[in-house]
Structure 1
Amino acid sequence: MRIKQKFNHDWYYIDNFKEEYTNKDSEMDRFCPVLLPHANKELPYSYFDEKEYQFISCYKKDFTIEKDAKGKTIFIEFEGVMAACEVYVNGKYVGEHRGGYVPAVFDITPFVQYESKNTMVVKVDSREREDIPPFGNVIDYLTFGGIYRDVYLYILDTIHINNVFYNYKIKDDKIILEPIVYITSNEEKDIEIVLSLDNKEFSWNVTVQKGKEQELILNSIEITNIEMWDIKNPVRYSACMILKHQGKTLDNYETKLGFRNIQIDETGFHLNGRKIKLRGLNRHQSFPYVGYAMPKRVQQKDADILKYELGLNIVRTSHYPQSPYFLDRCDEIGLLVLEEIPGWQHISKREDWRNCVLSDVEKMIARDRNHPAIIMWGVRINESGDDHELYTRTNALARKLDPTRPTTGIRCICNSEFLEDVYAMNDFIYDGGETVLRSQQQVTGLNHKVPYIVTEYNGHMFPTKRFDNEHRLIEHAMRHAIIQNEAGLRNEIMGAIGWCAFDYNTHCDFGSGDRICYHGVMDMFRIPKWASYVYLSQVSPKEKLVLQPLSHWTIGDRNQGGVSPLIVLTNCDHIEIKVEGKSLGKYYPDDNFRGLEHPPITVDFQFGEWGVGWGDLELLGYVNDEIAITRKFAKNPYLSRIDVKADDTLLYNDEMDATRIVCKLVDQYGNILPYLNEVLYLETQGDIEIIGPKTVATMGGCIGFWIKTTGKKANTEATVTIRCDRCKEENIKIQLRSMK
């Protein structure tokens, strides 16, 4: 039977590497204990040198393999190590892996000893090496170092499953399933393969050959009474592929499946026969201080934010394969995914670099092709020029590995060679002028329509900080609204994915000089800018009510004073405005935004003159002629309290677990005070730690931070305390429990 164990505990780390470290009995007194996932260097929020994490480091771990594992196959799997690693067991070299975004798997069977101490050493090279994509030129993002995803130990029978691809078609309301099983065996043997799916069992008798991995395409089966996976009803089924010999179970391989019918053509994107306009944003998987090294819960939360706090139906994993936890959560909640290989503009002539691109394609698709949320494979280096030889090979490989999904390739040049199934363009033409998006024909140069999607817009064209002035925040939001509106009106565009969801750290060649690109509709702490409400306001009011004015409601914040025009992002049918309790009328969606399901409402009125006075504002949102939501804004806002919210108050402490806490300095109506920057003092009690500094300053009236568990397993309670010189302290209780 398959044994799969997390291998994250009891590692030791040092920020350099010497050959002597590979010796089994070398001293560990200079190493410090760490719990994975781990960043090789904790960084400041901004204004740091990216070279600080670009070095070679070393991880060591002692472990024991019981004697009943003798005769079995033992693997170690690293889900993500940036950017290359070498593995040693008991002083002997096992192998090397290049590439920081796809799994590194090593067979350590010949190197382990049983019932005695084994020592594993991992040499981690986090430099930007020219033999590994995305490196070789400048890159507009950082590739943070360390063993930053989970590690697993596998103990398997000598006949075992390496992977399963559930290839299927839908015909007459039936699933025609043709599983492909990848098996390794140390001998020729007749075995039975059993699939357990939806309380049904199917079996095949096959003969496996001795030697390397073999691909077994099983005879197709029909499955009926299956509920379709959909963005509004993401139904999944548990599938278990079992190997048996003479009635004895040799191996079992579990997968979550969702069945859906996607059609992508020149008319757009269709899911289960329903045309859907794709509306999304790009996501970098990075976080303040620790870069990529965030555990399961935090990865899942990002998917939740994209779906529920931004109202998106698709995310692009820019510019690399992302955490399996993130993708699993997209499956669970019905968030579509465009996943792509690592890269940024540069194509190397080096053969080893180009072979690494093909390896990335293969490993990305082999890992992720059973995810129902993934609808396209990006098999072209982001924004690169044409390369017929390389991209002919990446497309052919992708279609061989997964004939069920279209390929695409993200470009920023027009009239590019079209080798993929979907033409994808980063269209940054809009600069506030008349041209919002190019026509498909302008981009493709073709005389016929093809499947076409816009995969980036805005971003560097109008970088905006959450604490910028009101004028800039308004224009930032409206640029997103204008482009989404245009995409909604164009039948030739299947959708538009904006740049981007969250601000991110970047190289000195980009951004605002502080190592940050402020391109997100949320900041790095996932706190919304006004532009985020352009997306959230498109959800049905039955799901979530949105009523967000693009104003801080101050008389002197804009040029010449006042708040006219007052733009309100909402999914209400109409709104009413009251000032000092007096109604100024009802206002309705803007006809200029017919490409949006819920257009913004523009109120062009003059209220308040400089030196005459001001008044409290009340917004009332109506749905079906009834008041559904209200918001109030003070004429004389003052600091009332710290509003503190944790994403979660129950954490698992038998592994690294983490959650975000957001602190807002709010007025008497609960609104953020946007120009208040106060120092907060963060403290913890119990088996939790603050990620990053324990003294922080709010930015634009708020700040976020993450706490993490320490790996101690006792059931207990912890406390986070937030203090501010001007407010009453706030405390949050965190329950710590074991997952088992």
Structure 2
Amino acid sequence: MKNLRLLLLLLFISGFTFLLAQNPFHAPGPIFSTDGFFKLPDNNSRMIFSFNNGWLYHKGNMENAQLTNFVDSNWQQVQLPHGVDILPEEASGGVNYQGVVWYRKHFTIPQEIISKKLSLTFEAIMGKCSIYINGNLVATHKGGYLPIVIDLTKVNIHLQRSNVIAVMADNSDDPSYPPGKPQYALDFCYFGGIYRNTWLEATNPVHITNANILKDTPGNGVFVSFDHVSKETANVKVAVNTMNETHRTQKVWMSVQLKDKEGNVVAEGERKLNLKGNSNATDSLNFLIKNPLLWHPDHPYLYDLYTTILDNNKKIVDGYYQRIGIKSVVLKGKDGMYLNGAPFNDKLMGANHHQDYAYIGNAVPDNLAWNDAKKLRDAGIRILRLSHYPQSNAFMDACDELGIFTILPTPGWQFWNKNPSFAELMYSDIRQMVRQNRNHACIFGWEPIPNETRYPADFARNAYNIVHQEDPNKNCIAACDYGSANWQMFDLIYAHPFSDVAKYTDKCLFTREWGDDVDNWSAHNSPSRVSLAWGEVPQLVQAQHYADPTYTYDCWERFYESPKQMLGGCLWHSFDTQRGYHPDPFYGGIVDMFRQPKYAYELFKSQQSPNSPYIQKEEPSRYNLFIANIMSPFSPADVTVYTNCDSVKLIAYGKDSMTEAPNKSLMMPHPPLLFKNVFHFMNIKDLIIKDKNTNPDWSSLTAIGYANGKEVISVTRKPGKRPSKLKLVTYLEGLKPTADGSFIIPVFAQMQDEQGNIKYLNEALVHFTVKGEGILIGKDLPGINPHKIIWGTAPALIRTTLKAGRLEIIASMQYPGAQTPSADTLYIATEARKTPSIFSLDYVNHIKGDNSKEAFSQGADILSDQEKKKILERVSQDQTDFMKDSKK
């Protein structure tokens, strides 16, 4: 212990923090890759460091900010991922800042890696960026959704003294690169900043190449492909591209091992390589796996693939492991989809997924990416279309582990620039999107064309060919809309259930967006768009809209009525999200911006089979049962119940009982149950008035679920009475908060009565205070703190500091009084980071301060009423044109 303390003290004195602990094995709960891979246990041939900490930030342009001697002492201290603003809860309509921002960071290269090859990866920087090291321009980039990799051995990096990196990022509208459309005419927000992770990587001169460094032909990094997959056998091919950056030929061995979750080697092989100086080569190994454990959304089994390069003495000179899933998806047109060699006799139902979150925009840390995936998978979602761009490594890792298929689109939305350079940038994005994500088990298909866009036929053909070139799996799937240019050559066609498309193609169909039904493209009023704040009846309307064919053409029922050729579809959208051209956020999510469930979430959750392996693994009960009625004075008389039970008995006020079973004429797995004319608030009042000693169960609704003739689950709903106390809850989804300056803890203050029932109809202001090793995001901003109770809760986001310890969260009434509800305190312990980090201690003195203290501010020009009208007309016309194309 004394030696460890001495080591940490020496590292602090040297001006950076170097935390060595990293868990090399599968720990209980989720783990995240570092720059797309996992470090080999007990081996430092390849070392990875977080570069997220110790950054300085300035909003606005600043002359000479790239220079080494620039004075930055008054800049704000921040950690990555970082957005340019703390945003209001409703940040649609161009509220977010657009313009130039600057980042600077002072750092020293650790002594133990100064002899290695060094590279720096930014997972994403929004918009146009210029990156300087020690005053020299080392990289420029256009585009906000894919990695930027810098070879530090080829720039002016100091190995024995301090360095300065400066980043200029500009999220202003620019039609020269995808998506291209200005945000004020876009249906999502660009946000801004260095909003994903940053990594510093150290390897030897002989190393496995980085797949994110593009070259003319495919092949960088490690590429895994599968053939003849069934429950009996699977052929696995592993191709590895190795670089020799020395001047002489190197004789090395390429070694591959496939390990199961227990660490047992199920396949292995090696090959001797002669690598000429300053060159790279790709070699591959093939394995036959007997009785493979196959990846499937309901049982997403992951193997560890260890890929190493060894010298002649069999000493590892480079390597890492990745988590892979063995699977096969074959589309057979009218016969539907075959998964792992067997027919998939179900519908693949899911949703779309943007990457933004309340307050923080796109700057979503790894743990909230996991929370998103976990929340959606628990609702039974088995596929996500990642609208409208590639998303973070952490989110893809989560989809691998939880069993969520993904469709990855290239950046784009209703915009095309005829300048040839625009198409070339799109081709580059497509290549990098595939190379970055091709080994993820969750990949279902690629969407290499810009969303809802009139693009040239030659672009469509080239985009399709690039996808199949970069992903040569014979079951590689490229998707596009019916009626778009060259749509016939694509593998999966986007269409709607029971449309005429099936008359014109034998290929499988899928609905990329369903469930939304607006009055027009400007107003966007829809029964699907419901804020949690609007309460019970609107939520019931939204859920019914997603289930019942009498509300809309596309819904759960319509998909299950459709033939096998229609595989399923993705709801628009999984959660409430911000928008660019419209002043209203999109409210059509099954959860809100903080991922709090609406009634539609319970509808989705109830569609899961009680025999699903996923439910059996994750839930104490295989059965779902939810009473969608809070028993308020305004709750409907008809009581809706969402369940996957065979039948449900409802007991009202302890005496009235009735039983309902699903309508067997419907095709959806578990239609909602409706108990007619059950609840009347005045009945509760009468019971209380007549007998003050009334059994409290009488003023309740109890649902009992039955399966195979037996009771399997019961739930009770009681009305919220006099507000008595605040209760703090948090949903960490199996994660332990990490003291890395990035982990964000969502916390909710519930308004409860004396018995712990939530008081949904309450609008009190709640004030949050955080002490210890945590920072309340937006702690002094209007609307964030204090926050009004909405549908029973008030949310807060707390960012961890860089010091492991205890944080204390207090929720209290903004205006306390003798009879107001009591406060609550929640204690949470944070643990030390598992990945080492490089940063200067001089620039982390904000540990007790606000990580992003600046309020939001308008960056773009405000439009005149006439300009707004013209833009809305253009947006409406773009949407109308696309709809016409898809119906041709």
Normalization by structure 1: what TM-score?
0.91
Instruction: Return the alpha-carbon distance in structure 2 between the equivalents of residues 614 and 340 of structure 1.
Output: 58
Instruction: Return the alpha-carbon distance in structure 1 between the equivalents of residues 255 and 113 of structure 2.
Output: 24
Indicate if the aligned counterparts of 1:241 and 1:252 stay in contact, CA closer than 8 A: yes
Deviation (angstroms), 1:503: 0.3
Aligned-partner residue type, residue 130 of structure 1: P
Total equivalences in the alignment: 713
Deviation (angstroms), 1:484: 0.9
Aligned-partner residue type, residue 251 of structure 1: D
Matched, 1:311 2:394: no
Assess, with a 3 A threshold, how the Cα gap between structure 1 residues 617 and 118 changes in structure 2: closer, same or farther: same
Instruction: Return the alpha-carbon distance in structure 2 between the equivalents of residues 369 and 88 of structure 1.
Output: 31
Indicate if the aligned counterparts of 1:383 and 1:412 stay in contact, CA closer than 8 A: no
Indicate if the aligned counterparts of 2:482 and 2:501 stay in contact, CA closer than 8 A: no
**Corresponding position of 2:321:** 254
Matched, 1:339 2:408: yes
**1:11-58 CA distance string (max 9 Å, x none):** 111113334121122212132221111112221112576364211111
Instruction: Return the alpha-carbon distance in structure 2 between the equivalents of residues 365 and 12 of structure 1.
Output: 33
**Corresponding position of 2:16:** none
Matched, 1:169 2:218: no
Instruction: Return the alpha-carbon distance in structure 2 between the equivalents of residues 707 and 455 of structure 1.
Output: 35
Instruction: Return the alpha-carbon distance in structure 2 between the equivalents of residues 612 and 10 of structure 1.
Output: 58
Indicate if the aligned counterparts of 2:385 and 2:408 stay in contact, CA closer than 8 A: yes
Assess, with a 3 A threshold, how the Cα gap between structure 1 residues 410 and 417 changes in structure 2: closer, same or farther: closer
**Corresponding position of 2:289:** 223
Deviation (angstroms), 1:402: 1.0
Residue 478 of structure 2: SS of its match in structure 1? strand
**Corresponding position of 1:430:** none
Indicate if the aligned counterparts of 1:618 and 1:630 stay in contact, CA closer than 8 A: no
Matched, 1:370 2:439: yes
Assess, with a 3 A threshold, how the Cα gap between structure 1 residues 142 and 477 changes in structure 2: closer, same or farther: same
Assess, with a 3 A threshold, how the Cα gap between structure 1 residues 383 and 88 changes in structure 2: closer, same or farther: same
Instruction: Return the alpha-carbon distance in structure 1 between the equivalents of residues 679 and 317 of structure 2.
Output: 77
**1:87-134 CA distance string (max 9 Å, x none):** 111111111122111111111213212211111111111222212211
RMSD of the alignment, in Å?
Answer: 2.5
Note the residue ranges of structure 1 that are not aligned, 5 or more in a row.
428-436
Indicate if the aligned counterparts of 1:75 and 1:108 stay in contact, CA closer than 8 A: yes
Assess, with a 3 A threshold, how the Cα gap between structure 1 residues 7 and 497 changes in structure 2: closer, same or farther: same
Matched, 1:723 2:812: yes
Deviation (angstroms), 1:314: 1.4
Matched, 1:143 2:190: yes
Indicate if the aligned counterparts of 1:653 and 1:709 stay in contact, CA closer than 8 A: yes
**1:492-550 CA distance string (max 9 Å, x none):** 3101211111101111x22xx34x11121111011111111111001244545332334
Aligned-partner residue type, residue 457 of structure 1: W
Aligned-partner residue type, residue 459 of structure 1: D
**Corresponding position of 1:434:** none
Report the identity percentage: 24
Indicate if the aligned counterparts of 2:630 and 2:718 stay in contact, CA closer than 8 A: no
Instruction: Return the alpha-carbon distance in structure 2 between the equivalents of residues 597 and 157 of structure 1.
Output: 55
Matched, 1:269 2:269: no
Indicate if the aligned counterparts of 1:406 and 1:422 stay in contact, CA closer than 8 A: no
Instruction: Return the alpha-carbon distance in structure 1 between the equivalents of residues 404 and 418 of structure 2.
Output: 36
**Corresponding position of 1:549:** 627
How do 1:78-117 residues align onto structure 2 when only pairs under 5 Å count? 78-110=122-154, 111-117=156-162
Assess, with a 3 A threshold, how the Cα gap between structure 1 residues 638 and 166 changes in structure 2: closer, same or farther: same
Aligned-partner residue type, residue 706 of structure 2: V
**Corresponding position of 2:55:** 11
Assess, with a 3 A threshold, how the Cα gap between structure 1 residues 28 and 670 changes in structure 2: closer, same or farther: same
Instruction: Return the alpha-carbon distance in structure 2 between the equivalents of residues 376 and 416 of structure 1.
Output: 18
**Corresponding position of 1:603:** 675
Deviation (angstroms), 1:378: 1.4
Residue 363 of structure 1: SS of its match in structure 2? helix
Instruction: Return the alpha-carbon distance in structure 1 between the equivalents of residues 368 and 458 of structure 2.
Output: 39
Instruction: Return the alpha-carbon distance in structure 2 between the equivalents of residues 296 and 365 of structure 1.
Output: 21
Residue 8 of structure 1: SS of its match in structure 2? coil
Indicate if the aligned counterparts of 1:178 and 1:217 stay in contact, CA closer than 8 A: no
Instruction: Return the alpha-carbon distance in structure 2 between the equivalents of residues 610 and 201 of structure 1.
Output: 72
Residue 728 of structure 1: SS of its match in structure 2? coil
Indicate if the aligned counterparts of 1:386 and 1:416 stay in contact, CA closer than 8 A: no
Assess, with a 3 A threshold, how the Cα gap between structure 1 residues 178 and 130 changes in structure 2: closer, same or farther: same
Normalization by structure 2: what TM-score?
0.76
Matched, 1:360 2:429: yes
**Corresponding position of 1:620:** 703
Aligned-partner residue type, residue 488 of structure 1: Y
Instruction: Return the alpha-carbon distance in structure 2 between the equivalents of residues 416 and 588 of structure 1.
Output: 47
How do 1:458-497 residues align onto structure 2 when only pairs under 5 Å count? 458-459=515-516, 461=518, 462=526, 463-468=529-534, 470-482=536-548, 483-491=555-563, 492-497=565-570
Residue 799 of structure 2: SS of its match in structure 1? strand
Indicate if the aligned counterparts of 1:381 and 1:409 stay in contact, CA closer than 8 A: no
Of structures 1 and 2, the one with the larger relative CO (CA 8 A, separation 6+) is 2
Instruction: Return the alpha-carbon distance in structure 1 between the equivalents of residues 133 and 756 of structure 2.
Output: 57
Which of 326, 336, 343 pairs up with 2:395? 326
**Corresponding position of 1:680:** 766
**1:423-452 CA distance string (max 9 Å, x none):** 023x5xxxxxxxxx442xx24661x42111
**Corresponding position of 1:702:** 793
Aligned-partner residue type, residue 552 of structure 1: I
**Corresponding position of 2:460:** 391
Indicate if the aligned counterparts of 2:480 and 2:492 stay in contact, CA closer than 8 A: no
Instruction: Return the alpha-carbon distance in structure 1 between the equivalents of residues 679 and 827 of structure 2.
Output: 45
Assess, with a 3 A threshold, how the Cα gap between structure 1 residues 51 and 533 changes in structure 2: closer, same or farther: closer
**Corresponding position of 2:513:** 456
How do 1:275-674 residues align onto structure 2 when only pairs under 5 Å count? 275=344, 276-308=346-378, 310-404=379-473, 405-411=475-481, 417-425=487-495, 427=496, 437-439=497-499, 442-443=500-501, 446=504, 448-459=505-516, 461=518, 462=526, 463-468=529-534, 470-482=536-548, 483-491=555-563, 492-507=565-580, 509-510=581-582, 513-514=583-584, 516-541=585-610, 543=619, 544-554=622-632, 556=634, 563-564=637-638, 566-593=639-666, 595-605=667-677, 608=680, 616-624=699-707, 625-634=709-718, 637-648=721-732, 650-667=736-753, 670-674=756-760
**1:382-408 CA distance string (max 9 Å, x none):** 222353111211111111111224333
Residue 621 of structure 1: SS of its match in structure 2? strand
Indicate if the aligned counterparts of 2:457 and 2:486 stay in contact, CA closer than 8 A: no
Indicate if the aligned counterparts of 2:244 and 2:278 stay in contact, CA closer than 8 A: yes
Indicate if the aligned counterparts of 2:445 and 2:479 stay in contact, CA closer than 8 A: no
Which of 156, 179, 184 pairs up with 2:243? 184
Of residues 395-404 and 641-650 in structure 1, the stretch that sits farther from structure 2 once superposed is 641-650
**1:463-508 CA distance string (max 9 Å, x none):** 111132544322211111131111012123101211111101111x
Of residues 283-292 and 701-710 in structure 1, the stretch that sits farther from structure 2 once superposed is 701-710
Instruction: Return the alpha-carbon distance in structure 2 between the equivalents of residues 413 and 680 of structure 1.
Output: 52
Instruction: Return the alpha-carbon distance in structure 1 between the equivalents of residues 133 and 374 of structure 2.
Output: 39
**Corresponding position of 1:127:** 172
Indicate if the aligned counterparts of 2:719 and 2:757 stay in contact, CA closer than 8 A: no
Indicate if the aligned counterparts of 1:139 and 1:344 stay in contact, CA closer than 8 A: yes
How do 1:197-208 residues align onto structure 2 when only pairs under 5 Å count? 197-198=258-259, 199=265, 200-208=267-275
Assess, with a 3 A threshold, how the Cα gap between structure 1 residues 671 and 381 changes in structure 2: closer, same or farther: farther
Assess, with a 3 A threshold, how the Cα gap between structure 1 residues 415 and 91 changes in structure 2: closer, same or farther: closer
Indicate if the aligned counterparts of 2:702 and 2:714 stay in contact, CA closer than 8 A: yes
Indicate if the aligned counterparts of 2:109 and 2:159 stay in contact, CA closer than 8 A: yes
